[in-house]
Amino acid sequence: MKIPIYYNYRNLLARKLTTGLTVLGIGLVVFVFSGVLMLAYGIKKTLVATGSEDNATVIRKASLTEMMSYITRDQVSIIESQPEIARGPDGKPLVAGELYVLISLNKIKNGDAANVVLRGVGPASMLVHSGVKLIEGRMFTEGLPELIVGKSTAQGFQGAQLGGSIRFAKQNWRVVGIFEAGKSAFESEVWGDVNQMLAAFNRPVVSSMTLKLADPSKFTALKERLEKDPRLSVDVKREKEYYADQSYAMTSFIKILGVVISVIFSFGAVIGAMITMYANIANRAKEIGTLRVLGFKRRNILSSFLVESILLSLAGGVVGVVFASFLSMKTISTTNWDTFSELAFGFAVTPEIVAYSLIFAVVMGVVGGFLPAVRAARMNILTALRAE
């Protein structure tokens, strides 16, 4: 014969203060745990969203990022001639040879300087990066010191607004357009004519190449041919894979650090749940004795109080997840460890994060409620009935 869960529910409601404080403590821990997972996933989502399944990224062999890479003009010609590359309306291959450098801009909020990606792009870049769309102004004119700026950069940095001016390479560059790119890392960049950028920074070579594939299933053949060509010495990755690799180190560190902090904080929440359950048992000794007299066995008592502890922690988990979900409304920025540039991103919540957070809360409930439940189950019937 089992004790109904409704009994546990009513007992928790009868002790509103202790129940509320315990739920709050567990909720705060779950809030931190959920927030960390949302932070890590938000960074990964932003970087992975930058890539396209239809694109391949080519960088110099052993280069981790575009910033460390270069591809010579002779190599560009070889890569452009590959049969797997899609063709534009004019019949030319959809290949974007791009320059990747960092410039320093001052933030609007506090005036602090931060590194921002400056990407030199060519005529094919807007076709290759099909997710990039102008939302204000116009495209820059080739051969002129003009720029288009990502939405996040325009919102966060001085001079990056439409009609503004950004100074680098000993001259002023006018902002003539603002673009968005599906909340990807491109929105944290500044784009300009690649030939103008190469001349401004005295660079004879581009940093990387992005190729639009006519058939994404032919990627493996393209990769093997280019990487085995002795004239090239390049690494070829799917664009999504390339940007996913950039997020790995940062997200792994955030997850590990966050989980460690959450586990440390959880000790306090577990102790709080344990104290609450011990207090409940002390106040309900006669109830426990009565339940035993009515025929409920020790295992029924143990499971009932364990369920009560789980309900308590689950309520705290729900509170923590609900409040953590509001973080998804906020956009923040941090430094990308791989490129040392500013990256704007938002917290992102997923069903998996909600599930992990609730499981974490339940585990705290089981750990915090087990010993009190054992004590309740072992309580002597006569001693319990005589309790005041």
Confidence of residue 246 (pLDDT cuts 50, 70, 90): confident
Average pLDDT of the chain is 87
The answer to whether residue 91 scores a pLDDT higher than 90 is no
In a domain, 241, yes or no: no
φ and ψ at residue 13, rounded to 5 degrees: -70, -30
Contact status, residue 366 vs residue 306, Cβ threshold 8 Å: yes
pLDDT confidence of residue 173: 96
Do 270 and 353 belong together in one domain? yes
pLDDT confidence of residue 374: 81
What is the number of structural domains in the chain? 2
In a domain, 238, yes or no: no
Do 169 and 298 belong together in one domain? no
In a domain, 240, yes or no: no
pLDDT confidence of residue 8: 63
Q: Say which residue, 332 or 280, is predicted with more confidence.
A: 332
Confidence of residue 225 (pLDDT cuts 50, 70, 90): very high
Confidence of residue 6 (pLDDT cuts 50, 70, 90): low
Do 155 and 22 belong together in one domain? no
Cα–Cα distance, 324 to 387 (Å, whole number) = 43
Mean pLDDT, rounded, for 338-348: 82
Cα–Cα distance, 118 to 309 (Å, whole number) = 54
Quick one: CA dihedral 308, 314, 318, 320, positive or negative? positive
CA angle centred on 79, ends 78 and 84, rounded to 5°:
120
pLDDT in tens, 201-224: 999 899 999 999 999 999 999 999
Cα–Cα distance, 33 to 316 (Å, whole number) = 12
Do 92 and 212 belong together in one domain? yes
In a domain, 237, yes or no: no
Least-confidence region, from 81-85, 123-127, 231-235: 123-127
Of 178, 203, 232, the residue that ends a domain is 232
Of 232, 260, 294, the residue that ends a domain is 232
Mean pLDDT, rounded, for 63-86: 91
Alpha carbon separation from 129 to 42, 144, 145, 216, 342 (Å, rounded): 21, 22, 22, 15, 20
pLDDT confidence of residue 135: 95
Confidence of residue 146 (pLDDT cuts 50, 70, 90): very high
Of 232, 261, 276, the residue that ends a domain is 232
The answer to whether residue 116 scores a pLDDT higher than 80 is yes
In a domain, 53, yes or no: no
Q: Is residue 84 packed enough to be buried (19+ CB in 10 Å), middle (13-18) or exposed (0-12)? A: buried
Running DSSP on this structure, what letter comes out for residue 145?
Answer: S
pTM here is 0.81
Running DSSP on this structure, what letter comes out for residue 87?
Answer: B
Domain that holds residue 342: 5-48+246-386
